[in-house]
Structures are given as C-alpha cells and as structure tokens.
Structure 1
Amino acid sequence: MGGRGTAVQGPRRLRRHAAAALALCGALALTACNGDGNGGDAGAAGTSPGASPASPSAAAPSSATPAGAAPTASAAAPSKKPAPTATTPAKPKPPAPGPACASKDAVSPNEIAVYRYTPEGGAYSLIVKHGHWGCPVTGGTTPFETVGEETYIPIAEDAKIGAHAPILSGSMNKPITTHELTSWLETHPNKGLVFHYSVNKAGVIDTLGQEEYTS
C-alpha cells in the first residue's frame, strides 16, 4: 500500500509541474502578445521605419543644365570686350567774338550824329558830333557815343541822301533831297540821328545815308 501511494503521488507531481509550466508559458506568451500590440500601435502612429524624410536636394529644383541642352546666356561665360582706346578730348571751340567796345576817345572816320543845320555863308551846313558805336545796353540797343564838341560840315545841294524812320516811314532807306532833310531838321532839332557820310575833294558832304541804329 505504501509503495503504491508513493507511485501514485509521483505522476501527480509531474502533472502539477507540467500544469505550472504551461501556465507560466501562457502568461509569458500573453505578455509577449501584449508587447507586440503596443509596439504595433506605436509603429502605426509614428513614421514607418522604412520611410525616410524628404531630402532637400530632391525637393529643390536642380539648377544643373540637362545633358545635351545648350547653356543659357546667364550660364555662359561673359565675353571680354576690348578696352576702349583712350582718346584726347576735343578742345572746346572758342566763343564767337562779340562786338568790340571802343574806348570813349575813339572816333568813327565816316559816321556822325546830326542835330541841326545852318544856312550861314550861303550854303547848307550840318551841325554834327563825331563819335562811335558803344557797347550794347539793356534792351539790345547799341548807342552811338559822341565825342567832343559840335562841329559844322557843309553839304552839297545835290547830295545823295538816304533816310528812313523817323524822317520817312519804314525801315528801309529811301532817297530824299537836301532840302527835305533840312526841313525835317528844322522841325525836329537835336534828334542826333546817325548817318554815314563821305565828302568830295572840297570837303563837302556828297553822300549821306541814315544808319539803321540810332542813339
């Protein structure tokens, strides 16, 4: 009896140990399965291990020229232009000469300012002053600047005389007689109209022409 009881207890212990081992194995298997599940969720929520972040070089467009394509103007090396040949700068042209301003003592040899006339001595004589053209003044006029005292110059009765305004109308000289000139001077004394003149061998005025510019 005692031997049989010992024999019976032996298999029971073996079954118990086997059941305990199976229970332990099942607990370990359950733990392992739970671990795989958590890992799977973590893997699903995160980035896949096989995937890699986008490469900056892949996102940015390539600036390299494709094979076989002609280089663009910006990519081509700039050609060197020849340096300009140094030239001597041209000298500025001198300004055009302006009207010369004569000194106050200068006298024009063939121009006079006529003021009046006189019939003394049986011949007509013009009362005049010699002078010269001065420098232009404000307004663009050029005065005839007289020099010295009044003097007398006889004029021929048949002298060739040309006159315009204010003696005659218009700006172009027209012929008048000595009598027409003296008549105008009698009614318009001391106007100082400027005339160019010439004299004959006797020193008498034979040609008298009114100048365009008057004082």
Structure 2
Amino acid sequence: MRGHGTAVRGARRSRAQAALAALALCGTLALTACNGDEEAGAPGTPASPATSAAATGTASPSPSPSPSPAPSKKPTPAVTSTATPAGTKKTPTPGSTCDHKMPISPDEIAVNRYTPEGGVHSLIIKHGNWGCAAPGADAAPFETTGKETFLNIAEDARITAVTPIVASTVSQPITLQQLIDWLIAHPNQGRVFRYHLDGAGVIDSLDQQYTS
C-alpha cells in the first residue's frame, strides 16, 4: 500500500509540473503578441493602409483619375468692338451738312429794339450767324453772339418785312415808322434782317428774312 501511495503522489506531481509548463508557454505567447501590437500601432488605433497592405501582401488600388470634361462644341460669338480707333474720324450723321463753326454773317443782324437817342433813328441789334436746323424744322435759327450795339438807319431807308411784322410770308414794303411801332410793341424778339450801309455807315436798306 505504501508503494501505491508513492506512485499516486508522483503522478500528481507530474501533472502539476505539466500544467505549470503550459501556463508558462501561454504567458510567453501572450507577451510576444503584445510586443507585436506595440510595433504595429497603439491599441485601438487602426493600422495605416500601407501597413495593412504590407502585412497582407496586397497593394492598395490607385484612385482612378477623374475624366476631363469634354470641350464644348458650341461656337463662341465674336465680340464686336465699339471703340473708335485712334486717329480716325466719326462718320457724320447721314443728311447732316451743318457746320457749327460758320463765321459771323457780314450783312445780317438780329434787331431787338429801337431808340431815338442822339436825335437820330437807331436800331439796337446783335450780330450772329446761322446755326443748324432741328429735324423737321422749316429753317435754321440765327444764333447771336457778342454784345448789343447800335446802327443808325436813314428815315427814307428802303424796308421790307414778312410775318410776324406783316401778315405775309412774302416780303412787303413798309415805312420806317411802321417798323418802329412794331419794335416798340414787340421788343427783344431778334427778328433777322439783311442790311446795307451807305457811305456814311447808315442803313439805307433793310430786308427781313423769313424764318418761321
């Protein structure tokens, strides 16, 4: 019986040593696994695609390049330039032949008023020139310039008039007194007259120009 007890104790001791050896092996394997995780990355941190690819032996597919948009086939309309090239002149408006730089008329005046100052008959006048007629207008305006001045007129001067001094668009002869009366009643209207001076510088003929 003593020999049998000794054998049982020996068997138990062998099983205990085998179990301890197995536990030591498991501990070694666990330590190795932990060291491998530290090298791959911190716990909870996914490995990079390159590392995963290296570990698995597969390469990551390269992203496909985005296809370039197809060029538009719709033609681009040409841009018309509105700039005037330097050194060129603008084309005048068709039908416009008016020159705004006409010189002062040498024999036409705008008559504004009458005055008997100095004991002679004098007309208060302004010189000027013809402007440009507005579209649809019957006649161009007489554009005055400079200051008012005086011209003496002979009492027997030959005078003709049209509307509105007389009720006619055709020249009618009038006397100096008729002209004076109208100018006093209608001052500063600037009716245009063609005039002529005698050798003494006095008006000896005065013809109203029809303007409207």
TM-score (norm 2): 0.53
What is the identity, as a one-letter code, of the residue corresponding to 1:186?
Answer: I
* Alpha-carbon displacement from aligned partner over 1:54-100 (angstroms, at most 9, x marks no partner): xxxxxxxxxxxxxxxxxxxxxxxxxxxxxxxxxxxxxxxxxx98644
Once the 2 structures are TM-superposed, how far is the Cα of residue 213 of structure 1 from its aligned partner? 1.4
Residue 103 (str. 1) matches residue 101 (str. 2): yes
Q: Which aligned pairs between 1:33-182 and structure 2 lie closer than 5 A?
A: 99-103=97-101, 106-140=103-137, 141-182=139-180
Distance 1:99 1:204 in 2: 35
What is the identity, as a one-letter code, of the residue corresponding to 1:162?
Answer: T
* Alpha-carbon displacement from aligned partner over 1:23-79 (angstroms, at most 9, x marks no partner): xxxxxxxxxxxxxxxxxxxxxxxxxxxxxxxxxxxxxxxxxxxxxxxxxxxxxxxxx
Once the 2 structures are TM-superposed, how far is the Cα of residue 212 of structure 1 from its aligned partner? 1.2
What is the identity, as a one-letter code, of the residue corresponding to 2:180?
Answer: T
Once the 2 structures are TM-superposed, how far is the Cα of residue 102 of structure 1 from its aligned partner? 3.7
Provide closer, same or farther for how the CA distance between residues 201 and 98 of structure 1 changes in structure 2, counting only shifts above 3 A.
farther
Q: Across the two proteins, how many residue pairs are aligned to each other?
A: 118
Match of 1:184 among 182, 185, 188: 182
Structure 1: 4+ residue segments shifted above 3 A: 96-100
SS of 1:149's equivalent? coil
Is the contact made by 1:159 and 1:208 (CA closer than 8 Å) also made in structure 2?
yes
Distance 1:107 1:183 in 2: 28
Once the 2 structures are TM-superposed, how far is the Cα of residue 136 of structure 1 from its aligned partner? 1.1
* Alpha-carbon displacement from aligned partner over 1:2-22 (angstroms, at most 9, x marks no partner): xxxxxxxxxxxxxxxxxxxxx
* Alpha-carbon displacement from aligned partner over 1:172-209 (angstroms, at most 9, x marks no partner): 11101111101110011001000000000000000000
Distance 1:102 1:179 in 2: 36
* Identity over aligned pairs, percent: 50
TM-score (norm 1): 0.52
SS of 1:103's equivalent? coil
When Rg is computed on C-alpha atoms for both structures, the one with the higher figure is: 1
Once the 2 structures are TM-superposed, how far is the Cα of residue 137 of structure 1 from its aligned partner? 1.3
Is the contact made by 1:102 and 1:132 (CA closer than 8 Å) also made in structure 2?
no
What is the identity, as a one-letter code, of the residue corresponding to 1:139?
Answer: G
SS of 2:99's equivalent? coil
Distance 1:134 1:186 in 2: 27
What is the identity, as a one-letter code, of the residue corresponding to 1:128?
Answer: I
Once the 2 structures are TM-superposed, how far is the Cα of residue 150 of structure 1 from its aligned partner? 0.4
Distance 2:97 2:149 in 1: 28
**Structure 2, unaligned runs of 5 or more:** 1-93
